[in-house]
Amino acid sequence: MSKGFLLVISGPSGCGKGTVSKALLERNEDIVFSISATTRKPRAGEEDGVNYFFIDEDKFSTMVDEGKFLEHAFVHNNYYGTPKEFVMEQIENGEIVLLEIDVQGAMQVKKNYKNVVFVFLLPPTMDELKNRIIKRGTESEEDIERRFKNAFEELDFVGEYDYFVINDKVNDAVIDIENIIKAEKLRVKRHSNIKNQVIKQGGK
């Protein structure tokens, strides 16, 4: 029986982790997406249990106290967290669970859990990183500069990850991550009794 693993796709804002994760999930129906819990109100079109688990602050606070999050954070006046139980169950069942998360969140996960594969998504150039931050179009010049400065500093965290993938073309980045998944499935450490499996296949 082989265990699955948590696949953390992370990187600075503007690296395209949302786009890459979405494309990866579309092409690989067997990958399970880890749904976050949040205290923020649903936006138009967002569904509870699909995009997020929408919960109130009391519930969130109780879950924090009970250690029910893999990681959690307070961002723009709202709480976000990754429910632990779902992820752990899926991994025990051999599933690969995708968690798309910022660098701070990934570092929280790294501190507390093993059996995680950390992928750092890089922009092809710093110019392109800036373009991507600008293209969101929802922010002031000051916000853009702040985000870019943060992103630049977050690149230092690449050394904490297992793999790096350069997100120049989304499709190429997805193929790189698919290769990482294929290789990680062949890791000896996640399989118990490999010898017995061979012996059982048709007998000694």
Residues contributing to the annotated binding site for ATP: 11-18
* Rounded least distance, CB 115 to a copy of itself, Å: 15
Single out the residue of 48, 20, 52, 22 nearest to residue 37, CA to CA.
52
CB closer to a copy of itself, 49 vs 202: 202
Single out the residue of 113, 117, 137, 114 nearest to residue 185, CA to CA.
117
CB closer to a copy of itself, 2 vs 19: 2
What is the DSSP code string of 71-106? EEEEETTEEEEEEHHHHHHHHHTT-EEEEEE-HHHH
CB closer to a copy of itself, 65 vs 127: 127
* Rounded least distance, CB 65 to a copy of itself, Å: 35
* Rounded least distance, CB 55 to a copy of itself, Å: 35
CA distance 97 to 174: 15
**7, 99 Cβ separation under 8 angstroms:** yes
CB closer to a copy of itself, 95 vs 128: 128
What SS3 class is residue 5?
strand
Q: Specify the DSSP element, H or E, that contains 37.
A: strand 36-38
Contact residues for a copy of itself (CB under 8 A)? 120, 122-128, 152, 155-156, 158-159, 161-166, 176, 179-180, 182-184, 186-188, 191, 194-195, 198-199, 201-204
* Rounded least distance, CB 71 to a copy of itself, Å: 20
